[in-house]
Structure 1
Amino acid sequence: MTDTTAFDWRSFLLKWSGEWADSLPDDETRDEDDEAARQARWLGLPPASEERITAMEERLGRRMPPSYREFLKVSDGWRHAGGFVWLLAGTQDTRWHDNESRLADVFEEYLDEDAEPEERREADLWRRGLQLDVESDATYVLLDPADVDEDGEWAVYTWASWRAAPPERYANFLEFMREMHREFHRLRARPGDGEPALVNDTTRQLDAQVEEARLEALRGGWERAKRALDEAKEYGRPLAAGLGDQIRRLLGRTDSMYFEDLVTDPRYAPDLLPPLVAEHAAHSYRGDSTLRFHLRGADEDLTSLAYATLDQVRNGTYRYTPAGPFGEAVERARELARWGDTDAAWRTLLDAVPLWQPLGPHHLAPLGWLADPVLGPLLTQERGRELLSTPRGGQAGEAPGPTAGIDPGGLAWLAEPDPGNNRTSYRFVLVEGVEPEELPGRLADGEGTVLNEPLTFWEARRGSLRNRREFSYDDRALMAVGRAGHGWSFAFDGDPAQFDRRRFVSPAASASAGTRAVVVWSGLRTTHREPFFHLSVAADGAEQYAFTYADGEVRSSGEIPRALDPSRFFGDVEDGVGTERSLLEAVAGEFGAHLPRHAIVNGRLHTFATRSWTRPPRDGDTYTRVWIDYGSAAPADGGN
């Protein structure tokens, strides 16, 4: 906590005043007070005596908070607090706001019956606050006597209607004034046409700090670099935001990441535009005009590149293709990632980071891969920190130790709750000795023999339903494919149709021509129907053994290995999670296969539709077939 009573107000205010005076153009017309302040190099007023401060406190009926009291002893008021408060109150002008603005009524209108006490307290600020703004650009500054810390400091709140944001809080008056000094610098850092930018000891020190932070980031010292860049950004120093955004984006931050001052530079645009565009594509609720806003200053060629990249991102066709040895490693990583081996893909990418070449001196790390539909899902916060800690761009530094992979291996992770606890049933096929691209030929027919481009499971499911015209008894599973460990490939469905033991047909036999295949369908944690579990194993086109637990009983066929004997698992299924985990551990142990959690849950994989997992209707079976005509009403018929 800041010791506000020990702060050197006089030095701080003298420095600020001098910087303000030096920032004024010589030909600018000023009023009498501002001209006097410029010549005196002092924005303040004479100091207030203790008697004057005490008299103010008696008038207001409250002792003032420490930092405001100490300020008044140096200057009894202040001109130009930031860019929008032209005169800040001293002992004479400070007064209780007492809802003078009627803003308490306005804020209370937005409260509903269920509003929290904190929300009501915030609305009441306009009745109890102590007003400090005397002259301003419709900007209110209030000290809050109900928001007090252990040192007796009152929080400061500011609000302006034109900012379209809730009131902004500062812990105390000192923090408010520090921020107003930073705001002054931010506004002077980007002057209008023909006006020179502010240059003084503060700006030169901060710019040197930005340059050192740039080198420190390339050496792997991203934490120190980020702190230095964040401080310089608060003062509006050029490049600080653009450099800092590169670090923040690799830490998983996506909000307000615009790579300011750099993304419109043709040198850096090929690597910085894609992640900016990808974030826009994910949240472009207000149309694409906002993208142009974030590319202010870009020429027509760069703007055209941005919108072309936006089309690629939306179509899933964007590919990150850097040059040189690092680019070769990117291709190897993509090949691993598209079949689900995300741990190996990440290690391949990271090992090549020291070979990466920046596009210019202010390029801190490779970023274009974040928009690649296959490579982007590799990022986690831990991995982002690992990349940032790796020396690169020709700078020397200590390389970080390797981090553990994020895939747990095996199959038991399927028994754990997924985000949102939505995965209560799933099914998968394991096939030995074949590549993932061969699975459609074993499990599908017709159009299903072609793999779709890598998509998330929900993107693939949404695409499969789009324009689908016929719905019937068929259960043509949409499966994601990849490698399942040494010698195995998998096809996985995380949201299967309802299991019907009487009509279920295992695809194990058809998938096992010339090899082995394993089928698992689990619904032991289902909440709206009876729990079930199926396992079938086939070799050379014929089923070897199988069992199905459903309706509280087990039905089996063939000679089941001891490790998979259902009697070991279904004596008591009250603990569905424990039973499921034990079964999955046994299957993984028997066949030495695993499913990649990160790729299935967070990544994009190739998909295809299998042939039906249910037998056709027999005489006496009832079913419904529905056709959808997108231009008219949808007919339906039934059959026996």
Structure 2
Amino acid sequence: MTETAEMTYDWRPFLARWSGEWADAYDPDEAPDAGDQKVLEERWLGFAPATGAGIAALEERIGLRLPPSYRQFLGVTDGWRHAGGFVWRLAGTREAYRPDSETDLTELFLEHLHEDASPAELQEALVWTRGLQLDVESDAVSVALDPEDVDEHGEWAVLTWSPWRAAPPERYRSFWEFMQAAYREFHQLEAGRDGGRLFTNATTEALDVQVEEARRDALRGDYERAEAALAEACAFGRPRATALREQLTWMLGDRHTNSLGGLAADPRYAPDLLPALMNSRERRSWGDGAYEYHLRGRTEEVRALEGTLLEQFQEGTYAYTVAGPFGGAVAAAREQMRWGEADAAWRTLSAALPRWQPLGPDHLAPVGLTADPLLGPLFTPARGRALLATPRGEEATGVAGAVVDEDPEGLAWLADRPGSGQRTAYRFLLVEGVAPAALPALVGAEDGAELHPPMTLWDARHASRPDGDSGVRTRSSYDDKALVAVGRAGPGWSFAFDNDPQPFNEARFVSPAAAAARHGRVVVVWGEADRYGEGALFHLSVAERGEEQYAFTVRGNRCERCGEIPQDLDPARLFPTIRDRRPHDDGGMQRDGGSGSERDGGLPGEATALTAIAAAFGVTLPRYALDHGRLHTFTTCSWTRPPGPGETFVVMSFGPVTP
């Protein structure tokens, strides 16, 4: 196709190739009707060219000049047979027409329009009245050229629709583009018929070469070029293309309707691909019927693996494993990830990616990693792209994958509350010189805290409810145990983090810092937005060798403090809301201001305070793992003292209301 004053199209060679391939693919056991017999003899799906007078008569009848691609098409053939699999006859100059009144199809579309329908939706509904109808014989497929949807080349868009496809009308930018799609549909249907074994021609041979080159491009790291080439081959129904392409799109995050091209049913690839396909989150989006369809034809070997995997998923014991050096890196990354070190885990995997080996010639990436409960959450779209851009397998060059860090440094990210439904409060301990697994022994609940297997905080809270699945949740001002996630908080530090604490009780709060400080320093931080009209709050307490060294609590304009607070952590320097900004160093608890003003959101100076704490102790919290990963959890001792004489306490239960 070349561009001059008017777009010109090479219709003759394109239509001749299509006609010849159609004739060659005709089933010799099927008796052709009269029309098809002529096509087979002449190897031509078209008719004689339309005359200039015939084209002029059509344009006069509709009152418009035809778009270039359809006009030039008519100059080659006055109509067409078998445009794809469902349009058996396309109109030439005599059959094409514009309806002179509202059609049944227009009424159908208008009937289903919402009151707030957009102009584009209204235009789509009315095309069946104003458009140039081209379908003469079809399987309930309507085809219309739209004279009000015109591009800069004078081309009219083509819209097609059929009720049995249960989808909105499909739009093509021009008649040329529509016919190209119909040609691809013909190929796709023929390739899928009896496995397409007899459907071989110059087009299919060229596409199969393209698929193989795309496979090598994918392993070289040129995944964008590979995906584009495979997408074209998929549109033609070429074997292998879908299975190869869907591995790429899976790693890029497109998993909702992705079946990995059925490759998970192959015993060679099932150990890697089947876990990804069986992941409960993906399977739930299909339903069992679709799942069974995508795994049709699986062998007994694959069925046995499926049973084992299903049991592992249900018990929460599944872990992605693979042989060789890459398998060692996977194990190391899982160990890092279970303690919250998401960026370090990704770096471990990235460094080992060049040593990953495919299970067979159609295996492009370690797709099964996405099903691993610990490592699966690592795969953001950016990391998926980085993995696919790394040369691997037979095309490996030894160049490691790109580093894609997702975690911000430090603690200041905790002050970021971008919208409704986000974190309104948090509290955490930072413990020096102690491994995360040792934290329950320091601050665990009195009845014996244990470190639970890695899971999300939401799952951990659900599992910890004494009433199981009833949905009831109980909170008490008497007993404020915290369900915390644990992990590493930087060199030499561990953390215990609660992202949903109950309200801070100033009168009865007892910092766990001193109890946890048996081996080194302990830092306790509590931040709270203004949730109940009492003002936003920020607390810091620091202990060492079993004794609290200093602490402060800021709420609104008030500040209570004790001990000798380092200058860099002085609340009078960090929080602009404090009225009396003079530092106090007498070691006693003093008030720096009055009742204070209230504000929505966090306390002004919260991010500054968090930054100062991170700098003072060299600590960080892993935002990505806390928000998306699975970490070990345990229940701490209470953060409030028991009520004293004459004090009351409240127990609140939240959950479904029963009659």
In structure 2, which of residues 621, 625, 629 is the aligned counterpart of residue 599 of structure 1? 625
CA offset at residue 58 of structure 1? 1.0
- Cα distance in 2 for residues equivalent to 1:139 and 1:98: 20
Q: Among residues 546, 562, 566, which one is paired with 2:567 in the alignment?
A: 562
Q: State the one-letter code of the partner of 2:20.
A: G
Of 573, 580, 585, the match for 2:606: 580
Q: CA separation in 2, counterparts of 1:352 and 1:437? A: 27
d(CA) in 2 for partners of 1:329, 1:554:
49
One of 109, 115, 118 as aligned partner of 2:117: 115
Residue 228 of structure 2 corresponds to which residue in structure 1? 227
The CA deviation at 1:345 is: 0.8
Counterpart contact for 1:191–1:197, Cα < 8 Å: no
How far did 1:438 drift? 1.0
Aligned mate of 1:169, from 168, 171, 174: 171
Between 333-342 and 56-65, the greater mean CA deviation after superposition: 56-65
Mark the runs of 5 or more structure 1 residues left unpaired by the alignment.
635-640
Paired residues of 1:281 and 1:314 also in contact (CA < 8 A):
no
**What's the CA shift for 1:588?**
0.5
Cα distance 1:332–1:132, how it changes in 2: closer, same or farther (>3 A)? same
Q: How does 1:401-420 map to 2 (within 5 A)?
A: 402-417=402-417
Does residue 382 in structure 1 map to residue 382 in structure 2?
Answer: yes
Deviates more, 1:60-69 or 1:29-38: 60-69
Task: Tell me the residue number matched to 1:615.
Answer: 641
Alpha carbons 1:295, 1:303 under 8 Å: kept: no
2:317 is paired with a residue whose SS is coil
Query: For residues 449 and 39 of structure 1, do their structure 2 counterparts lie closer, same or farther at Cα, with a shift above 3 Å needed?
Result: same
Please, which moves more after superposition, 80-89 or 321-330? 321-330
Query: Quick one: which amino acid aligns to residue 204 of structure 2?
Result: T
**Letter matched to residue 133 of structure 1:** D
Please report how far the alpha carbon of residue 367 of structure 1 lies from its aligned counterpart in structure 2 after TM superposition. Answer: 1.3
Q: 1:369: Cα distance to partner?
A: 1.0
* Bigger mean CA deviation after superposition, 453-462 or 9-18: 453-462
Q: 1:2 to 1:265 in 2, by over 3 A?
A: farther
Question: Of 459, 466, 476, which aligns to 1:472?
Answer: 476
Seen in structure 2, the aligned counterparts of structure 1 residues 336 and 357 have a Cα distance that, compared at 3 Å, is: same
Verify the 8 A CA contact 1:281 1:310 in the aligned structure 2: no
Unaligned runs of 5+ in 2: 579-598
CA distance in 1, matches of 2:497, 2:511: 14
How far did 1:154 drift?
A: 1.3
Per-residue CA distance 1:61-110 (angstroms, 9 max, x = gap): 22211111111111111100000000011111111246765232222333
What is the SS of the residue equivalent to 1:74?
coil
Q: What SS does the aligned partner of 1:399 have?
A: coil
Shift of 1:500: 2.2
* Cα distance in structure 2, aligned partners of 1:295 and 1:98: 50
Find the residue that maps to 1:262 and give its secondary structure: helix
Higher mean displacement: 424-433 or 403-412: 403-412
Residues 618-627 or 12-21, more deviating: 618-627
AA partner of residue 217 (structure 2):
E
Q: Deviations over 1:329-352 (max 9, x none)?
A: 110110001101111111111211
**Could you say if the C-alpha distance between residues 449 and 202 of structure 1 is closer, same or farther in structure 2, counting changes exceeding 3 Å?**
same
Cα deviations by residue, 1:565-618 (Å, 9 ceiling, x for unpaired): 011022337895761111011000111110112111221111122222222223
Aligned to 1:335: 335
Q: Deviations over 1:5-32 (max 9, x none)?
A: 2220111000000010000122211111
The alignment-based identity, stated in percent, is 53
Q: For residues 422-458 of structure 1, what are the alpha-carbon distances to aligned partners after superposition, in whole Å with 9 as ceiling and x for unaligned? A: 1232111100011111112222225662122222222
CA contact (8 A) 1:342 1:599 kept: yes
Q: Secondary structure at the match of 1:623?
A: coil
Distance in 1, matches of 2:26 and 2:134, equals: 25
Query: What is the aligned partner in structure 1 of residue 142 from structure 2?
Result: 140
Match of 1:437 in 2: 437
2:270 partner amino acid:
A
Question: What's the counterpart of residue 246 of structure 2?
Answer: 245
Q: Distance in 2 between matches of 1:239 and 1:492?
A: 47
Contact 1:339 1:482 in 2 (8 A): yes
Q: CA deviation at 1:419?
A: 7.3
Equivalent residues of 1:89, 1:134 under 8 A apart: yes
Aligned CA-pair RMSD: 2.6
User: Which of 43, 50, 75 does residue 73 from structure 1 map onto?
Assistant: 75
**Residues 263, 140 of structure 1: alpha-carbon distance in 2 compared, 3 angstrom cutoff:** same
Aligned counterpart, 1:129: 131
Aligned residues: 631
- Counterpart amino acid of 1:414? L
Rate the CA distance shift 1:180–1:576 in 2: closer, same or farther, 3 A. same
1:211 aligns with 212
Change (3 A) 1:451 1:101: farther
Using a 3 Å threshold, how does the CA distance of structure 1 residues 579 and 605 change in structure 2: closer, same or farther? Answer: same
Q: 1:624 aligns to what?
A: 650
Equivalent residue in structure 2 for 1:15, among 17, 22, 29: 17
- Please state whether the residue corresponding to 1:517 is helix, strand or coil: strand
Displacement of 1:160 in angstroms is: 1.3
Secondary structure of residue in 2 paired with 1:441 = helix
Counterpart in 1 of 2:423?
Answer: 423
Secondary structure of the structure 1 residue equivalent to 2:650: strand
The match for 1:201 is 202
Question: SS in structure 2 opposite 1:347?
Answer: helix
2: CA distance, partners of 1:95 / 1:289: 43
Q: Work out whether residues 263 and 295 of structure 1, in 8 Å CA contact, stay in contact via their aligned partners in 2.
A: yes
Find the aligned partners of 2:495 and 2:528 in 1 and give their Cα distance. 19
Q: Distance in 2 between matches of 1:333 and 1:609?
A: 26
- 2:588 corresponding residue in structure 1: none
Q: Could you say which residue in structure 1 is the equivalent of 2:503?
A: 498
**Shift of the alpha carbon at 1:125?**
2.5
Aligned to 2:367: 367
Tell me the TM-score normalized by structure 1.
0.93
The 10-residue stretch of structure 1 (201-210 or 153-162) with the greater mean CA deviation from structure 2: 153-162
Q: 1:130 is aligned with what amino acid? A: L
Task: Indicate the SS of the match to 2:467.
Answer: coil
| CA distance 1:237–1:605, shift in 2 (3 Å) | same
